[in-house]
Amino acid sequence: MIKTLLISSLLMFTASFGVWIKTDGTELTVPCPDDFSVERLRLPLGCTAEMPGVWLSVDRYREMEVELAEARATIQSKAEQITALEARVSALEGQLLVCTAVPECPACPNNFFQHTMTGAAIGTVISLGGCAAWTLSQ
């Protein structure tokens, strides 16, 4: 029992002061906050919260701010991607409706051989006619 009292009093004494480490590397010893009901606080290193909640060290608070900013940026970019994909889906649905409205595309006739033969026949007739006209004129 005495041991428990000594440990609890030691914890109360050590938890009454904490350390702030400034950006230039200097350390300040400051008293730990005792009123947690007013607002969310950042705790100096070595202080403990008297009640449950979100009580953070300075380093963890800054890490969470960075994580939160990254999460917001990710959500924003995903929202833009979703909007672009929804627009693409709508366009593809429209194309699908147009394609399914006609049950079958009409067959394209293969007239290449026919046109080639017709052109060759016309060319042959003109050539023979030209040769005949030249021969008669001589």
My answer on whether 26 and 41 are in the same domain is: yes
Higher model confidence: residue 6 or residue 109? 109
My answer on whether 46 and 66 are in the same domain is: no
Residues 130-137: what's their mean pLDDT?
Answer: 75
My answer on whether 47 and 63 are in the same domain is: no
Domain count of the fold of the chain: 2
Confidence of residue 77 (pLDDT cuts 50, 70, 90): very high
On whether the CB atoms of residues 49 and 63 are closer than 8 A, the answer is no
51 pLDDT more than 70: no
* Tens-place pLDDT, residues 25-36: 888 888 887 776
Give a yes or no: residue 128 inside a domain. no
- Domain of 38, in residue numbers: 2-54
- Which own/partner pairs from 48-53 qualify as long-range (CB within 8 Å, at least 24 positions apart)? 48/15
pLDDT over 70, % of the chain: 64
124 pLDDT more than 70: yes
Confidence of residue 80 (pLDDT cuts 50, 70, 90): very high
- Kindly provide the b/e burial profile for residues 79-106, where b requires at least 16 CB atoms within 10 angstroms of the residue's own CB: eeeeeeeeeeeeeeeeeeeeeeeeeeee
113 pLDDT more than 70: no
